[in-house]
Amino acid sequence: MNDDNHHVVRFQDGDGEAAVTVHYRPDGYLMDLRDGALAVRGELLDGGALEADLGGSRCHARVVRRGRELTVFTDGTSHRLQLIDPLAGAAELDAAGGRLAAPMPGKIVEVLVKDGASVKRGAPLLVLEAMKMEHTISALADGKIEKVIYSVGEQVEEGAELIVFQSAGGS
């Protein structure tokens, strides 16, 4: 209750996993990294361009997001990161029963599929904004979207069915 406002973000980076604790500050963020804390401010520009101040050093990068995968291009190099979403496990439990449910209350900010669409396992289906973070709800098996229940801008409660999903295996 007396803790500051923060969020732990986990990434898969090659064979390793990294956790970054992001503390929200009025003038940006304070990130707890493996090598210590770093003050960060930034602005996302058109087309995924990013301008950031990382502990006093100016950085320009381009970020491409595809589902949970982020590719960051900067200074002639690229870094591929996989976001580890701890809420995905909650969605998996419901997906086994043919329904994809909201793992927490939030707002639908993007719907990436239409009714009747065939999707492959891992395909991003929709994006839910909750706790100041975006959470991508992905297909947990090959299958078909029977019905998208919510639209962009709608609020959802925890456990609300988001998509009626028919897996290729018939469940």
61, 124: one domain: no
Closest CA to 62 of 100, 52, 54, 53: 52
Is there a single domain that holds both residue 99 and residue 152?
Answer: yes
The Cα–Cα gap between 95 and 128 comes to 16
Query: Tens of pLDDT along 74-90?
Result: 999 998 888 876 655 44
What is the SS3 assignment for 11? strand
Q: How many domains does the chain have?
A: 2
Distance CA(136)–CA(168), nearest Å, equals 21
Query: In terms of pTM, does the model score above 0.75?
Result: no
DSSP 148: E
1 in a domain, yes or no? no
Summarize pLDDT for 19-77 with one digit per residue, the tens. 889 999 888 999 999 889 999 999 888 877 889 999 999 999 998 888 778 888 999 99
Rounded CA-CA distance 23/41 in Å is 12
Mapped onto helix, strand or coil, the DSSP state of residue 48 is helix
- Same domain for 24 and 73? yes
Q: How far apart are CA 112 and CA 4, in angstroms?
A: 34
